[in-house]
Amino acid sequence: MKQARDMTKMTARSTLRQGADFIAAGLVTAPIATVIDRVSERYAVAVTPILAGLIDPADPEDPIARQFIPDGRELMPGAHDLEDPIGDDAHSPVRGIVHRYPDRVLLTPLLQCPVYCRFCFRRERVGGAEKGLDETEMTAALDYILAHHEIWEVVITGGDPLMLPPARLSALLAALEAIPHVQIIRLHSRIPLADPTRIDAAMITALSLQRAAVWLAVHSNHAREFSPPAIAACQALNRAGIALLGQTVLLKGVNDDAAILEALFRTMVAQRIKPYYLHQLDLAPGTEHFRVPIEEGQALMRSLRGRVSGVCLPTYVLDIPGGFGKIPVGPTYLQGSDAVDWRNETHSYKIDP
């Protein structure tokens, strides 16, 4: 892996987008480059230099490559594919807003990312011709939040909100902080790991508010994503007092293994990132080859309890298709009077009323 990282550092000086870019970086052969170009005709492709440098081209099962290098199976329809897997459209009162739960909304100011995950549930929209919110649309979105006093938390997503220039992000966060009933602003991003140079003084200043609490959910699916520059970016965010959460998707061939998840969650916690959600993969088109059965995910979560402390354990969740929200789907440890411990041993727990 060290050899791959050094080689790519010399060749991948900009984001990889076309098959020829991946060939020049020494990551794929010509036939695979042809597949990349075919997939890119439908879905956005981008791999940042730092992530490209983490890929071992000698390993056909490399978990970083699997997440970000296009695969021809993405163009194969799956039996359960949904264009809008979690029902965003059904709960969008104005463009850029999704209001699924009473006390929080999603705000999507842009649809660009530094890197495009091959399993993204918004893959039909991100990175394409559809633009982010213009000034009029942003005003309408903010007016909607202002008019709905039940909104306590605004979750900024996309696309990746940290792709916004710091000045524009600062203006957006200031506008949200000026709404009295908005107490929490949460941003979801891959930037700290995928393009950590963006976490500079200007970005940290933009994220540092006076009243509203800012939480940053850092998306990561494998411990190897925590390169030295990524760790430095997380440390800078920690020093600024920005609370960090960890967001992970359960992916076949990437992290569907207890030891791999253990290493990831321990790495997160060591960087003061609280593992928040382990997502069951959404039913996005062309992602069936990544899907892990829920029963296997439950077994993985059961095996982790006892191997790691509670601070390392996320909630395993399913986002119900159609926009009905997330539900915990982790294993059950108490059935009737039978309590199952972390060793998978059963004990009686019965208290008479």
pLDDT digits (tens, 9 = 90+) for 259-300: 999 999 999 999 999 999 999 999 999 999 999 999 999 999
CA neighbor of 284 nearest in space, from 108, 107, 74, 128: 74
For residue 351, is it within any domain?
Answer: no
Catalytic residue among 66, 100, 186, 190: 100
Q: What share of the chain is helix, strand, coil (3-state, %, to 5)?
A: 35, 20, 45
Are 96 and 225 within one domain?
yes
Catalytic residue among 113, 123, 190, 312: 113
Q: Is 95 a catalytic residue?
A: no
Give residue 353's pLDDT.
Answer: 65
Q: Is 116 a catalytic residue?
A: no
Q: Is 104 a catalytic residue?
A: yes
Mean pLDDT of 207-231: 98
Among residues 24, 42, 75, the one where a domain terminates is 75
pLDDT at 106 over 70: yes
Q: Is 343 a catalytic residue?
A: no
Give residue 352's pLDDT.
Answer: 67
- With a pLDDT cut of 90, the percent of the chain lying above it is 84
CATH code, domain carrying 253: 3.20.20.70
Mean pLDDT of 31-49: 97
Q: Is 319 a catalytic residue?
A: yes
Residues in Cβ contact with 239 at an 8 Å cutoff, skipping those fewer than 6 apart? none
pLDDT at 12 over 90: no
pLDDT at 2 over 50: no
| Domain limits for position 234 | 89-346
pTM of the entire structure?
0.93
Are 115 and 54 within one domain?
no
**End-to-end distance of the chain based on CA atoms, in angstroms?**
60
Are 325 and 202 within one domain?
yes
Cis bond upstream, residue 159 (ω within 30): yes
Give residue 5's pLDDT.
Answer: 47
Question: pLDDT tens across 70-80, in order?
Answer: 999 999 988 88
pLDDT at 8 over 60: no
Higher pLDDT, 87 or 284: 284
Mean pLDDT of 213-224: 98
Q: Is 101 a catalytic residue?
A: yes
Residues in Cβ contact with 17 at an 8 Å cutoff, skipping those fewer than 6 apart? 40, 45, 46
Q: How many domains in the chain? A: 2
Are 242 and 329 within one domain?
yes
